[in-house]
Structure 1
Amino acid sequence: MNNNKILIVDDEQDLRETITELLIHNNYNVKGAANGHEALKILDEWIPDLIISDIMMPIMDGYVFHEIVKETKILNQIPFIFLTAKNNSDEVEKCTLMGVDHFLSKPFKIDDLIKIIEVKIERFLKIKNGNSNPNFSNNKYFSHEVNTPLHGILGSIELLIKHKENFKENEINMFYDSIKTSGIRLNRTLKNSILYDNLNNDKLDFINDSYTEILNEFLKVKKKITEIDETQLERIQFDIDESDIKIKEEYLHFILFELLDNALKFSKMEEKIIVSGKKYNSEFYELTIQDYGIGFNETQLKEINAYQQFDRDKREQQGLGLGLFMSKTFMKKTSGVFSIISQKNVGTTVKLFFPLHISQTDIPVQ
């Protein structure tokens, strides 16, 4: 007996009831709603294995409903299928850019719908029942951070393959931008997961004679961030003195990128991020990153750990929650000091103290 649960959301009562009857005939447990608002009431008490939703509906349309579902912690892994109007390229394009799991144009064959449902539910249940990797299985955000950009990439490619001739040049370029953005996000997720796994299993090298010039590395990171999102260019203000510090380039790059990205992500677009760096004394270099964003409270500061994110159920966030924890760990492993001062809704200041690299020419002759 098939006990998989499906929620149908469509304001066309006849269509909704027809789909419901056909799915019940195929042994699915089905509930229906006339719009997104009604559907959310059902989801308060009943969690399905898959959601099928129309787009144009009164009170709350499918776009808003989808957004709320994906921002709700206990719902955001549920496969979501949109029913779109036939040959409506605007709807199809928007669905793809939103990272919708699948979309089906009306009218459709019930056999096609059943096949899609079977594939999506099977994949969802595998994720729901856990991952065999012990490091990743404990991270409830990992599958979301992999699947969301992956859907964006595959969905865009599928559309371009099947319907490229129906899109204008600017629309095709939007798909290319979507593929690139999703690819960058997926690449970061996988790289950070592998880096954490290697760190956790003592596979990383922390040789004390490695050193990196900090201003040069900061400029590389700033360029990388603004290439991803050029709107961030004017937000980063910096005054950093050149200096060689004792840390491998890979680890410094990670620290700078994660801390800058967090500062930008958790503060308003009109707010500046202030970065300053100078020699603290003859042994250490001090780098300060200051933002005026949402900040942390005292309890949250004490709970910074791997795969830890705060208020994700209230605020959609990208990432695995590894940045702060791994930055602290890299600083400790390289004999540096990591300090963070924060106040909720006021901002955060991170201070990093890196050991200076002293070359032979810097050593005074006795």
Structure 2
Amino acid sequence: MAHRILVVEDDAHMREGIQDILETHGYEVWTAGDGAEGLQTLETLVPDLILSDIAMPTMDGYAFYEAVRRNPRWALVPFIFLTARGERADIRQGKRLGVDDYLTKPFDTEDLLAAVEARLKRMAEVRAATEAEKEALRKAILDALPHELRTPLTYIKGYTSLLLQDTALMTPEILHEALEAIRSGSDRIGSLVEDFVFLVTLDAGEVAATVKAAHETVDLRPILRTLVTDYQQRAAARQVTIELDLSSPLPFVEAYPPYIANALGRLLDNAIKFSKRDGGRVTIRAWAERGEVHVAIEDTGIGLPATEIPKIFERFYQVDRARMEQQGVGLGLPIALGIVEAH
């Protein structure tokens, strides 16, 4: 299928000449006499590339470009400015706006075709990379999500059926065990749902907006002490010790306490989860350096290959899930990073 190109040029002779060159080389070409007419044309098709003059009546190229980029349907379409102006100020203005390329008239056929082919090739590469990322994300979700839903649901359904059938014959201990398993399973599903909802608020900018509107001067020490208390039981179940080092004086920071506690809690939970059972240790240290407060959470876990470290903040990414059972779907660290970035 031929690539579709929209040419926006107020000079009829120039517009027709560009159209002839492109059509001769197999492109499907649509034309418009100025930016306003170009926007009307875009309502009926989404081209693979736009070539636009700058100095045009009614709506010039700059205004046309900005209107194109404001519309999500056209925001990623490659855009090349065509202009008779050779001044650096005009070129800088185009680049400042983010235009993909800039051709100064007069240009020959080879220059035009080279610019068009280069932008179309680059867009094809970007689309291929995006599709590969989407496929990798889809696979990661399919690897993790069914397990994270099926396992707790199995507990809930199994123990519910047991309670419905044999309650009268159960000892209080067995009844308590069944109810605890049901609660654990529902908590696990609830936590998963909460993570997905929080991820949406991150992407929508709501977390950053909340931080901007509700941040306050915060002492991190009470937050860290509370986290250690909250996670002691979970750590003890794995015979993991939590050590908190607040020996260095800490200045106050500007933050939104619930979100900072959320991020630090996710890091602490991750450290406990991957520490060695029966004797593992998690150490939390906080210190000030060059006007900044640093918090480090270290564990005695299995470690990571150096090649995996750049990937650990990717959504749904987990290291060798097939070999290591890991509760969760790989959202804890990405959410923690998103909270920190929102600050």
Into which bin does the TM-score normalised by the smaller protein fall?
A: 0.5 to 0.7
Tell me if 1:327 matches 2:336.
Answer: yes
**Are residue 268 (structure 1) and residue 268 (structure 2) matched?**
no
Residue 314 of structure 1, aligned match among 298, 314, 323 = 323
Secondary structure (helix, strand or coil) at the match of 1:246 reads: strand
1:94-147 superposed Cα distances (whole Å, 9 cap, x missing partner): xxxxxxxxxxxxxxxxxxxxxxxxxxxxxxxxxxxxxxxxx9897222232233
Q: In structure 2, what is the Cα distance between the partners aligned to 1:259 and 1:158?
A: 36
SS of residue in 2 equivalent to 1:290 = strand
CA distance 1:260–1:187, change in 2 (3 Å): same
| Mapping 1:58-97, distance limit 5 Å | none
Aligned partners of 1:288, 1:252: CA distance in 2, in Å? 14
* Equivalent residue for 1:235, pick from 241, 258, 263: 241
- Aligned AA (1:225): Y
Q: Match of 2:216, SS?
A: coil
Structure 1 residues 212 and 232: CA distance shift in structure 2, 3 A: farther
Percent of aligned positions that are identical:
22
Whether 1:303 aligns to 2:323 is no
Matched with 2:253 is: 245
Instruction: Please tell me whether the aligned partners of residues 250 and 288 of structure 2 are also in contact (alpha carbons under 8 angstroms).
Output: no
Gaps of 5+ in 2: 1-136
Structure 1 distance, partners of 2:323, 2:219, is: 39
Q: Deviations over 1:174-219 (max 9, x none)?
A: 1122122222222221111111121122232231733443222223
Comparing 158-167 with 314-323, greater Cα deviation is found at 158-167
Q: Among residues 148, 164, 180, which one is paired with 2:167 in the alignment?
A: 164
Give the aligned partner of residue 292 of structure 1. 300
| Structure 2 letter corresponding to 1:275 | I
Structure 1 234/303 Cα, relative in aligned 2: closer, same or farther at 3 Å? closer
Report the equivalent of 2:193: 190
Q: Alpha-carbon deviation of 1:223? A: 2.8
Residues 316, 167 of structure 1: CA spacing in aligned structure 2 closer, same or farther, 3 A cutoff? same
Partner residue in 1 for 2:158? 155
* Consecutive unaligned residues in structure 1, runs of 5 or more: 1-134, 335-366
Structure 1: how far apart are the matches of 2:175 and 2:203?
A: 42
1:222 corresponds in structure 2 to 228
| CA shift for structure 1 position 153 | 2.2
Offset of residue 247 of structure 1: 2.1
Instruction: Tell me the TM-score normalised to structure 1 length.
Output: 0.49
CA distance in 1, matches of 2:338, 2:318: 17
Helix, strand or coil for the counterpart of 2:326?
coil
Count of residue pairs brought into register by the alignment? 199
Structure 1 runs (4+) greater than 6 angstroms displaced: 135-138
**For 2:245 and 2:156, how far apart are their aligned partners in 1?**
38
**Preserved CA contact (<8 Å) 1:146 1:186:** yes
Query: Is the CA contact 1:225–1:232 (under 8 Å) kept in the aligned structure 2?
Result: no
Q: Check whether the contact 1:215–1:243 (CA below 8 A) recurs between aligned residues.
A: no
- Residues 77-107 of structure 1 show CA distances to partners (whole Å, capped at 9, x for unaligned) of xxxxxxxxxxxxxxxxxxxxxxxxxxxxxxx
User: What CA RMSD, in Å, does the superposition of the two structures yield over aligned residues?
Assistant: 2.5
The superposition leaves residues 4-54 of structure 1 with CA deviations (integer Å, 9 ceiling, x where unpaired) of xxxxxxxxxxxxxxxxxxxxxxxxxxxxxxxxxxxxxxxxxxxxxxxxxxx
Q: Is the 8 A contact 1:226 1:232 kept in 2?
A: no
Q: Return the alpha-carbon distance in structure 2 between the equivalents of residues 307 and 234 of structure 1.
A: 26
User: Letter of the aligned partner of 1:182 in structure 2?
Assistant: G
How far apart in 2 are the matches of 1:333 and 1:169? 48
- Find the residue that maps to 2:285 and give its secondary structure: strand
Sort the Cα spacing of 1:178 and 1:267 in 2 relative to 1 into closer, same or farther, 3 A: same
Q: Judge conservation of contact 2:276–2:301 (CA < 8 Å) in 1.
A: yes
Please tell me the residue identity of whatever aligns with 2:292: F
Matched, 1:213 2:219: yes
Question: Aligned to 1:180, which of 179, 183, 190?
Answer: 183
Relative to the length of structure 2, the TM-score reads 0.53
In structure 2, the CA distance between the partners of 1:154 and 1:226, relative to structure 1 (3 Å rule), is farther
Shift of 1:163: 1.1
What do the CA deviations read for 1:226-267 (whole angstroms, capped 9, x no partner)?
Answer: 344643576101112565322222221221221111111112
Residues in 1 aligned to 2:166 and 2:318: alpha-carbon distance in whole angstroms: 39
Contact 2:285–2:295 (Cα < 8 Å) also in 1: yes
Q: Is the partner of 1:272 in helix, strand or coil?
A: strand
**Equivalents in 1 of 2:138, 2:230: separation in Å?**
27
Q: Secondary structure at the match of 1:235?
A: strand
